[in-house]
Structure 1
Amino acid sequence: MSESENPNSQIENSKSNNWFATWFDSPYYHILYKDRNYHEAQVFMDNLTHYLNLPEGATVLDLACGKGRHAIYLNQLGFNVLGVDLSPNSIAEASKNNNIHLNFKVHDMREPFEEKFDAIFNLFTSFGYFESDSDNLKTLISIKESLSEYGFAVIDFMNVNHVIQNLVPEEVKTVDGIDFHIKRYLKDNHICKEIDFKDNGEKFHFTEKVQALTLQNFEEMMEEAGIYLLDIFGDYKLKKFHKAESERLIMIFK
């Protein structure tokens, strides 16, 4: 759960009221999740760009890019990439990789862009952090309006059915000498994660939660947003989606 490097989210003047605005901008978030599988992420980008048949030099938006691992690799594949995220700290780190064809900026994912993109990627469960369904719809409409005439968008979400069936209620994960005590549970149609730890004698507590959105939920929202769902995959090798077994819910739309 909460797999995204950094979900883009609330408007700047209200972000202090939202758990994700502080946790995802915290250095401890990146410590806890430092062991992400970069090879798997690159294989996914290879498969995805090949499937979409994106031409070299295509404009790609990495929506909720975190520190930019996907965006950087997409740029290495020959694309013009913009990475955006709510977290100023993540964007500051990602911007160290800026070049003429790779840029990063702080942006609210609900707001459309002036420019149009050939592809928009929202990867690694960077959706469903809002309390309001209208904000989810606003995000989908923003994605739709930011696509070029022949552009494609991709949302890579967790498969809620698989996650709930395999939820680990409690574990302790030690990273960089910090013992992260983690509890997971389902509450009010959200998958929640409580994270407690100590560092330098100080106690910390964070809560992550993401809406338990199913394929049917997305289909209903996309229909309302006027979005056409083209294809659905169940893993990063783009295998067929199975409601119970698939680890991911990868949706291709325009």
Structure 2
Amino acid sequence: MDWFAEWFNTPYYHILYKNRDNNEAQEFITNLLKYLSLSGKSKILDLACGKGRHSIFLNQLGYDVAGVDLAPESIEYAKKHENEHLKFFVGDMRKPNFPHSFNAIFNLFTSFGYFSNDEDNLKVYQAIYEQLLDKGIFVMDFMNVSLAIDNLVENEDKEVDGILFHLHRKIEDGFIIKDINFQDKDKNFHFQERVRTFNLNYFENIGKKVGFSLKNIFGDYDLHEFNVKTSPRLILIFEK
């Protein structure tokens, strides 16, 4: 089983990251929508939606939203929030689940770069392109790899809900790798996260390859200009 299919579907993933800043996420969505000027009737796909925090907020703002994620447990949780204009589905981002259906597709919070085979990354972009309506917008929110590598913390211990997580990070074979070790109920666990060290040039090339036009690049959730040395994020706005 791929690491992401196993790790994202465990309760421990959600425990470790339970303190993610929802206010920051909502402010980002608000800034993004102001910039994009999407009409209230727009249909949005939240690709790799997790438990649906972005999807739910988008729906609260009045949009028709679909959330797709590979982890059944996350989708089961997200489905508790469904309504007529908010639906969640288990799906693989490499496959087009809803061809020619959306005005915008969002891939947020570094939910990309997991695959060892680069053909899989191309499949994701092709699937996104196919699921967008003409002139549709694709937003890719990735880490700024240069800053992440410069500030890499090799070892970190983090206690959450009584579980002590031992985190070890390294750069290897074009991946930022995080090993996660912990003990719960007298049992030892080990999981791993692997994210490719993709830079701006990579995203420009793969977007162009499938037919996207790159409209803008931002470096943080306030949508300031991207600076490779100082920006925490790499946010790309593509148009079909």
> What range describes the TM-score normalised by the shorter chain of this pair?
over 0.9
Q: Describe how 1:39-78 pairs up with structure 2 within 5 A.
A: 39-78=23-62
Distance, in Å, in 2 between the alignment partners of 1:141 and 1:205 is 33
Partner of 1:223: 208
The one-letter code matched in structure 1 to 2:148 is V
Please state whether the residue corresponding to 1:110 is helix, strand or coil: coil
Distance, in Å, in 2 between the alignment partners of 1:21 and 1:138 is 17
Distance, in Å, in 2 between the alignment partners of 1:52 and 1:105 is 25
Of 187, 202, 218, 2:172 maps to 187
Partner of 1:7: none
Distance, in Å, in 1 between the alignment partners of 2:100 and 2:62 is 19
Contact 2:48 2:111 in 1 (8 A): yes
Of 71, 93, 100, 2:77 maps to 93
Q: Describe how 1:80-159 pairs up with structure 2 within 5 A.
A: 80-112=64-96, 113-159=98-144
Partner of 1:13: none
TM-score normalised per structure 2:
0.98
Of 5, 9, 22, 1:38 maps to 22
Partner of 1:172: 157
Partner of 1:14: none
Contact 2:99 2:130 in 1 (8 A): no
The one-letter code matched in structure 2 to 1:126 is S
Identity among equivalent positions (%) equals 54
Contact 2:100 2:130 in 1 (8 A): no
* CA deviation string 1:55-93 (max 9, x = no partner): 112100000000000000000011000000000000000
* CA deviation string 1:112-141 (max 9, x = no partner): 123410110000000000111111011101
Q: Which moved more, 1:222-231 or 1:89-98?
A: 222-231
The one-letter code matched in structure 2 to 1:96 is K
Q: Which moved more, 1:181-190 or 1:214-223?
A: 214-223
Partner of 1:5: none
* CA deviation string 1:212-248 (max 9, x = no partner): 0000111111121121111000000000000110000
The one-letter code matched in structure 2 to 1:47 is N
Runs of 4+ with deviation above 4 angstroms: none
Q: Describe how 1:196-215 pairs up with structure 2 within 5 A.
A: 196-215=181-200
Distance, in Å, in 2 between the alignment partners of 1:109 and 1:195 is 25
Partner of 1:11: none
What is the number of residues matched between the two proteins? 238
Cα RMSD between the aligned structures? 0.7
Q: Give how far 1:111 is off.
A: 1.0
Distance, in Å, in 2 between the alignment partners of 1:148 and 1:192 is 36
Distance, in Å, in 1 between the alignment partners of 2:89 and 2:199 is 30
Distance, in Å, in 2 between the alignment partners of 1:126 and 1:137 is 14
The one-letter code matched in structure 2 to 1:196 is N
User: What stretches of structure 2 of length at least 5 have no aligned partner?
Assistant: none
Please state whether the residue corresponding to 1:57 is helix, strand or coil: coil
Distance, in Å, in 1 between the alignment partners of 2:60 and 2:4 is 29
Distance, in Å, in 1 between the alignment partners of 2:8 and 2:177 is 15
Distance, in Å, in 1 between the alignment partners of 2:53 and 2:127 is 23
Please state whether the residue corresponding to 1:174 is helix, strand or coil: strand
Please state whether the residue corresponding to 1:82 is helix, strand or coil: strand
